[in-house]
Every structure is written in C-alpha cells, then in structure tokens.
Amino acid sequence: MQARDTVGRLDGAWGIVVLLTIGTCVAVIARRVAWAVAGNAGYRLRVTRHGPPVARGRRILGPTLAGGLPP
C-alpha cells in the first residue's frame, strides 16, 4: 500500500505527524460547526425579522439529505 512508503520515511518523527493530524481534524470540525452555527443564526435572524416562510406565502420543503442548513 502507499502508506508503507510514507511510514518508512518518518524516521521517528511520529510526534509531529500525530500533532499535525489531530490539529487538522480539529480545525476541520471546528470550521464545519462554525459554518452550521452561522448559517442557522442567519436563518433565525431572517425569520425573526420577516416571519416564517409559511407566513410569506411559501410552502415549507420536506427534509432532504442537504437540509442541514435552510436555503
């Protein structure tokens, strides 16, 4: 496999590789959480100011796979 060559070249530098891997995972997860929270906060602000979509004459769409954030 391709990982064997990479692991063979580390020469005992596992610590930095593990730290970089954990740091990357934490950064990606934090960014996704921040994106979802910001999107939902924006949607809630819009609903607070203008009312829910039903009150404006649009029907509510059913849940979908991409429905984590409102349009």
Q: List b or e across 39-71, with b for residues whose CB sees 16 or more CB atoms inside 10 angstroms.
A: eeeeeeeeeeeeeeeeeeeeeeeeeeeeeeeee
- Domain ranges in the chain are 20-52
The pLDDT, as a whole number, for residue 14 is 79
Write the pLDDT tens digit of every residue in 10-69. 777 778 888 888 999 999 999 999 999 998 898 888 888 887 766 666 666 666 666 555
Of the candidates 33, 10, 14, 12, the residue with the CA atom closest to the CA atom of residue 22:
14
Q: Which two tokens stand for residue 36?
A: 């979802």
User: What gap in Å lies between CA 24 and CA 12, rounded to an integer?
Assistant: 20
